[in-house]
A and B are shown apart, each in its own frame.
Chain A
Amino acid sequence: AQSVTQLDSHVSVSEGTPVLLRCNYSSSYSPSLFWYVQHPNKGLQLLLKYTSAATLVKGINGFEAEFKKSETSFHLTKPSAHMSDAAEYFCVVSVSDYKLSFGAGTTVTVRA
């Protein structure tokens, strides 16, 4: 069965330093993968989506993710963190035409 594992439940970075959020997936075929962000008291917002067109995917707000089939990973990065990046981030894999499987989430804290 398709699933995702987010390797860090919490990441703390200083403003202006890089951010790395790690995600591994398991899938019996080439999956569709997503990263979503949830700011406090808000719903989830799509950051980016991988659907096999290119292994490096650029998203909104300066985020990008790289699909590595050999490592079954889909890590999310940003070169320079901003205070507004403080949020919870979810890695998601498409299980079927209608169903998605969500990781447990990574909470990002940004220190001034």
Chain B
Amino acid sequence: DVKVTQSSRYLVKRTGEKVFLECVQDMDHENMFWYRQDPGLGLRLIYFSYDVKMKEKGDIPEGYSVSREKKERFSLILESASTNQTSMYLCASTPGRGGSPLHFGNGTRLTVT
């Protein structure tokens, strides 16, 4: 089975801190994604990457950046955390393109105080 591992299950950070969320997948998938999940809003795409060092903005990229230096690892960076970034963050991966199902990690619940 594909395993997508997010390094932290829970994080508490202070406003203004730089925050790193890490995600690793073990199935050599080309595509990796970062979503945030908020009640009543479903999942919203922050950024995705279809190859090493490649990145594309999703629907809500403001306040975030990403890094993909190796194929298996995709990092989400909150440059200066704010309270409105308190949320559940989900990483996912897929092989190839064209409607392949997403494989999700278990999520990181981030609280910014």
**Contact residues of A with B, CB < 8 Å?**
9, 32, 34, 36, 41-46, 49, 51, 90, 94, 97-100, 102-105
Contact = CB atoms under 8 A, between A and B. Distances in A.
Interface of B: 4, 31, 35, 40-45, 48, 50, 56, 58, 90, 92, 97-99, 101-102, 104-107
A104 B97 contact: no
B98 A97 contact: yes
| Residue from the set A51, A94, A99 with the largest chain B CB neighbour count within 10 Å | A99
B50 A102 contact: no
Contacts of B105: 43
Contacts of B4: 43
A48 to B, nearest CB: 10
Given A99-B45, A102-B42, A104-B40, A41 B106 contact: yes
A14 to B, nearest CB: 25
Nearest to B106: A43
Given A32-B99, A104-B41, A44 B90 contact: yes
A102 B105 CA distance: 17
Given A43-B106, A90-B42, 19 more contacts: A36-B102, A42-B106, A42-B107, A44-B43, A44-B90, A44-B92, A46-B102, A49-B101, A94-B99, A97-B99, A98-B50, A98-B56, A98-B97, A100-B102, A102-B44, A104-B40, A104-B41, A105-B40, A105-B42
Contacts of B90: 43-44
A50 to B, nearest CB: 10
B43 A90 contact: yes
Nearest to A51: B99
Contacts of B106: 41-43
A82 B104 CA distance: 24
